[in-house]
Amino acid sequence: MSARIAILKDAAAVAFMAFLIFGPFLGLQLGDSNAGNLTLSTRPELLALAVVAVFFARLGMLIWQEYRPARLPGTELALKVQESGRFIAPALLVFAVALPLIPGVQNVYIDLGVLIMTYVMLGWGLNIVVGLAGLLDLGYVAFYAVGAYSYALLSTTFNMSFWECLPISGLLAACWGIFLGFPVLRLRGDYLAIVTLAFGEIIRLVITNWVALTGGPNGIDEIPHPTLFGLSFSMAGGPGTFAGFFNILPAPGQRITYLYYIILFLALLTNWVTLRLRKQPLGRAWEALREDEIACRSLGINVRNTKLTAFAIGAMFGGFAGCFFATREGFISPDSFTFIESATVLAIVVLGGAGSQLGIVLAACVMIGVPELLQSLQIYRMLIFGIALVLIMIVRPRGFISKRRPTVLLRPVLRPVQVTEP
Amino acid sequence: MAYALQQLINGITLGMIYGLIAVGYTMVYGIIGMINFAHGDVFMIGAFVGIIVLTALSGVTSVPMGLLAALLLSAALCGLYGFSIERVAYRPLRGSFRLAPLISAIGMSILLENYVQTSQGALERAIPTLIPGGITLMNENGFIVQLSWMQMAIVTVTLVVLAIFTYIVTKTPLGRAMRAVEQDAKMAALLGIDTNRTISYTFIIGSALAAVAGVMFLLYYGVIDFYIGFNAGIKAFTAAVLGGIGSLPGAVLGGLLIGLIEAFWSGYATVAYKDVAVYSILAIVLMFMPTGLLGRNEVEKV
């Protein structure tokens, strides 16, 4: 009985705190009077609602803690997901390849697929830096921006095509990765985080303020869309366009489908390179670096080159993704390259379970797909996004797929030892 | 000369505000080793509580009383915010994967920004100058160097708050506990210090300082919106790192430096690139002093 009273008391205390915390923000609202002064209006019903909601949420949580069943072993579940990953990954791949071909799938969903895939690619790219090499990068969006602006400027100034610009964008981003990598070589952990964050902000501020080159806050528009061997996807039809060449009616779906396959190819390339590199000395050096830098050094691994290649390769894929972003949107401005993008990509990597390729796909679907489907919630969308980020982290601090399979295994015993039961 | 003096005054005022926020960052980092990304947004909450209190009291009390009430209420409420944020978003993640609290903090930051945006609107909110006037220090060929009462008030309040804070950290049992937990949390716990409570107090004190900075910011600029926390938070974080994260005098020093860099760069170069200058100087300083200006060089044990 006293336990129940204690629970009620606890919930009441939390509700009282909620009253204080929400009081000025939900209970009062600033407004403008006709005279131009600030006014305050009250809305007690909203505050009461919030306080009551907190009270019952806390009550429910406490009761759940009291009576919850034996804790589901998290690692076991993760292991199961990991094992089923063998089947999930190819199934997802088949689904991804087939999605635009399924009749009846609306363009909106293919477009959503393109968006999710872009973030999957960014996640996989950042995963090289954060998940494999263990370098905390809070300014990944800088390379995304470099790639996007490289393509935008090259194509609008020199009339270069998407496929010519793609490698150049990647290369430029990789150069910036190395350029950024040098000053931060000696830094560790959180010092690294702030410098990369600062670097991301520097790039964004320069783009915003260098109006003569980048158009400043107005951005660059009329960026050409990609072509298929010189065939454009113009809606006008006629000779020289995809529709004209194959003698079909031009439809917006054709271009979206084409974009979809480009990003699918780029994302799979990222994945393939990562998986190959993990099996090679460089990838192993990255993972060793993540675990222990001093041990690495004493084993003769060149820490400088290892870090710089991680930055460069991660940045290169960011650049590719940026290049794709520019050609897909046709318009870019500094608003697309804010810190929130870096944070989103980092959240995808961490939610995916830092290092797990499949986990990143799942995390990208959740983080990008769900908010897109919730468009109707308007301004509450980001509020829910923030709450979800905190909640997911609390429930699964190590990400969706937290159990990492060791990259290197000793040769397993060929014949399992027979245990004879008496 | 006169121009430089004016920029110096402006820089110090701004630097004091940054320093106050940076202290909260550096304290939390020192004690639990996490970047509290939501700290800048607590600063924003502080500014909003300030404007709400000032609006509610306008015409009811005298200006000094209103200001005092705004400062105290804002500090108290933000302390509560800091406490709750730690309880809800960080404590369950203590001792878990290194990046988990960081992501949780970023989520909390997004949450707070949008909470204020949805509840109070996305518009900029302005208040009239509450303490007008000042003293003229110098008049050089028509260029008047002004030290406004507001600037003096800001610097005075900041110094008083920092003095109280220094007293708490160096002289009280709570401060001793905080320093002990910072040095070695496990050992401190073994010696009978309630680590959880100490960490909670750290968040409360840090958030209260941020709230004071928020009210100061509101008074100085007169205009706030829900987004000010992001920029100020990053600047303060930069200040904390520049001074050597974990070092309290370092945070104030870093804040002052950043305020001065910003003021002088805006005055003598271009306003547009002032933040670029701040971040570049941070990168250059860290290249040569990887643990910041006053940071301890940690001995690595293998």
**Region for residue A323 given its phi and psi (left: phi exceeds 0; alpha: psi -120 to 50; beta: otherwise):** alpha
Measured distance CA(B259)–CA(B155) in Å, rounded: 13
**pLDDT the model gives residue A363:** 86
Is B218 part of the contact surface with chain A (CB cutoff 8 Å)? no
Query: What domains are there in chain B, each with its CATH number?
Result: 2-288 (1.10.3470)
**pLDDT the model gives residue B297:** 65
User: Does the A85-395 domain belong in CATH 2.60.40?
Assistant: no
Identity of residue B296: R
Q: How confident is the model at residue A71 (pLDDT cuts 50, 70, 90)?
A: low
Q: ipTM more than 0.95?
A: no
- Cβ–Cβ pairs < 8 A, chains A and B: 181
Measured distance CA(A405)–CA(A399) in Å, rounded: 14
**pLDDT the model gives residue B93:** 85
A164 vs A154, A159, A222, A227, CA distance in Å? 10, 10, 18, 11
Residue whose token pair is 């690692």: A75
Record the pTM: 0.85
Identity of residue A289: L
In chain B, what residues touch A187 (CB-CB under 8 Å)?
A: 286, 290
The number of residues making up chain A comes to: 422
Is A61 part of the contact surface with chain B (CB cutoff 8 Å)? no
Q: How many CA atoms lie within 13 A of B213 on its CB side?
A: 35
**pLDDT the model gives residue B249:** 84
Q: Is A38 helix (H, G, I), strand (E, B) or coil?
A: strand
Query: Is it the case that residue A253 has pLDDT exceeding 80?
Result: no
Residue B40 tokens, joined: 């800048």
Burial profile A56-80: b = 16 or more Cβ within 10 angstroms, e = fewer = eebbeebeeeeeeeeeeeeeeebee
Query: Is it the case that residue A83 has pLDDT exceeding 70?
Result: no
User: Which has the closest alpha carbon to B39: B51, B31, B50, B28?
Assistant: B28
Measured distance CA(B114)–CA(B111) in Å, rounded: 5
**pLDDT the model gives residue A415:** 57
Q: Do B100 and A190 touch (CB under 8 A)?
A: no
User: Which has the closest alpha carbon to A85: A370, A409, A363, A357?
Assistant: A357
User: Which has the closest alpha carbon to B36: B184, B202, B213, B168?
Assistant: B202
User: Which has the closest alpha carbon to B229: B18, B39, B17?
Assistant: B39
Taking only residues 246 to 285 of chain B, the set having a beta carbon closer than 8 angstroms to any beta carbon of chain A reads 270, 272-273, 275-276, 279-280, 282-284
**Beta bridge mates, A30:** A40
Q: Do A190 and B241 touch (CB under 8 A)?
A: yes
Is A157 part of the contact surface with chain B (CB cutoff 8 Å)? no
H-state helical runs in A132-251: 141-158, 162-181, 189-209, 211-214, 242-245
**Beta bridge mates, A28:** A42
Identify the closest residue of chain A to B29 by CA–CA distance: A190
Measured distance CA(A81)–CA(A88) in Å, rounded: 9
The number of residues making up chain B comes to: 302
CB B256 within 8 A of CB B19: yes
Intervals of CATH 1.10.3470 along chain A:
85-395
Taking only residues 331 to 390 of chain A, the set having a beta carbon closer than 8 angstroms to any beta carbon of chain B reads 339-340, 343, 346-347, 350-351, 354, 379-380, 382-383, 385-390
Residue A228 tokens, joined: 């298929």
Q: Do A198 and B238 touch (CB under 8 A)?
A: yes
Is B195 part of the contact surface with chain A (CB cutoff 8 Å)? no
**Minimal CA separation from A182 to chain B, in Å:** 9
Q: pLDDT exceeding 90 applies to what percent of chain A? A: 11
Measured distance CA(A76)–CA(A88) in Å, rounded: 17
What does residue A298 show for φ and ψ, rounded to 5 degrees?
-75, -20
Residue whose token pair is 């002289």: B171
For residue range A326-371, list pLDDT tens digits in order.
Answer: 988 888 888 888 888 888 898 888 888 766 788 888 888 888 888 7
Mutation target among B261, B286, B298 for the A interface, most CBs of A within 10 A: B286
Helix, strand, coil tally for chain A in percent (to 5): 70, 5, 25
User: Cβ atoms within 10 A of the Cβ of A251, count?
Assistant: 15
Q: Is A356 helix (H, G, I), strand (E, B) or coil?
A: coil
**Minimal CA separation from A284 to chain B, in Å:** 21
A38, A199, A382: residue with CB nearest B110:
A382
In chain A, what residues touch B25 (CB-CB under 8 Å)?
A: none
CB A62 within 8 A of CB A18: no
User: Cβ atoms within 10 A of the Cβ of B56, count?
Assistant: 19
Taking only residues 112 to 131 of chain B, the set having a beta carbon closer than 8 angstroms to any beta carbon of chain A reads 112-121, 125-127
Residue A382 tokens, joined: 């980001």
CB A263 within 8 A of CB A317: no
CB A184 within 8 A of CB A190: no
Measured distance CA(B117)–CA(B224) in Å, rounded: 12
Is A25 part of the contact surface with chain B (CB cutoff 8 Å)? yes
- Pick the more confident residue, A241 or A410: A241
**pLDDT the model gives residue A406:** 55
A191, A194, A209: residue with CB nearest B273:
A209
What does residue B95 show for φ and ψ, rounded to 5 degrees?
80, 5
CB A354 within 8 A of CB A127: yes
In chain A, what residues touch B104 (CB-CB under 8 Å)?
A: 389-390, 393-394
Identify the closest residue of chain B to A216 by CA–CA distance: B272
Q: How confident is the model at residue A146 (pLDDT cuts 50, 70, 90)?
A: very high
In chain A, what residues touch B100 (CB-CB under 8 Å)?
A: 350, 393, 397-398
B84, B93, B126: residue with CB nearest A394:
B93
Q: Give every residue of chain B whose pLDDT is below 50, as ranges.
A: none
In chain A, what residues touch B80 (CB-CB under 8 Å)?
A: 17, 20-21
Is A217 part of the contact surface with chain B (CB cutoff 8 Å)? no
Render chain B in DSSP notation, one character per residue.
-HHHHHHHHHHHHHHHHHHHHHHHHHHHHHHH----TTHHHHHHHHHHHHHHHHHHHBTTB-HHHHHHHHHHHHHHHHHHHHHHHIIIIIGGGTTS-THHHHHHHHHHHHHHHHHHHHHH-SS-EE---SS--EEEEEEETTEEEEEEHHHHHHHHHHHHHHHHHHHHHHHSHHHHHHHHHHH-HHHHHHTT--HHHHHHHHHHHHHHHHHHHHHHHHHHH-EE-TTHHHHHHHHHHHHHHHH-TT-HHHHHHHHHHHHHHHHHHHHHS-STTHHHHHHHHHHHHHHH-TT-SS---PPPP-
Query: Is it the case that residue A74 has pLDDT exceeding 60?
Result: no
Query: Is it the case that residue A65 has pLDDT exceeding 80?
Result: no
Mutation target among A10, A22, A25 for the B interface, most CBs of B within 10 A: A25
Q: Do B108 and A386 touch (CB under 8 A)?
A: yes
Measured distance CA(A383)–CA(A389) in Å, rounded: 10
Query: Is it the case that residue A405 has pLDDT exceeding 70?
Result: no
> How far from chain centre, in Å, is Cα B269?
26
Taking only residues 274 to 303 of chain A, the set having a beta carbon closer than 8 angstroms to any beta carbon of chain B reads 294-295
Measured distance CA(B24)–CA(B205) in Å, rounded: 8
**Beta bridge mates, A42:** A28
**pLDDT the model gives residue A70:** 61
**pLDDT the model gives residue B158:** 86
In chain B, what residues touch A30 (CB-CB under 8 Å)?
A: 51-52, 55, 120-121, 125
**pLDDT the model gives residue A165:** 86
Mutation target among A292, A394, A395, A398 for the B interface, most CBs of B within 10 A: A394
Q: How confident is the model at residue A72 (pLDDT cuts 50, 70, 90)?
A: low
**pLDDT the model gives residue A237:** 64
Residue A177 tokens, joined: 């990765």
Mutation target among A190, A299, A340 for the B interface, most CBs of B within 10 A: A190
User: Which has the closest alpha carbon to A220: A325, A318, A121, A321?
Assistant: A325
- Pick the more confident residue, A122 or B6: A122
Is A30 part of the contact surface with chain B (CB cutoff 8 Å)? yes
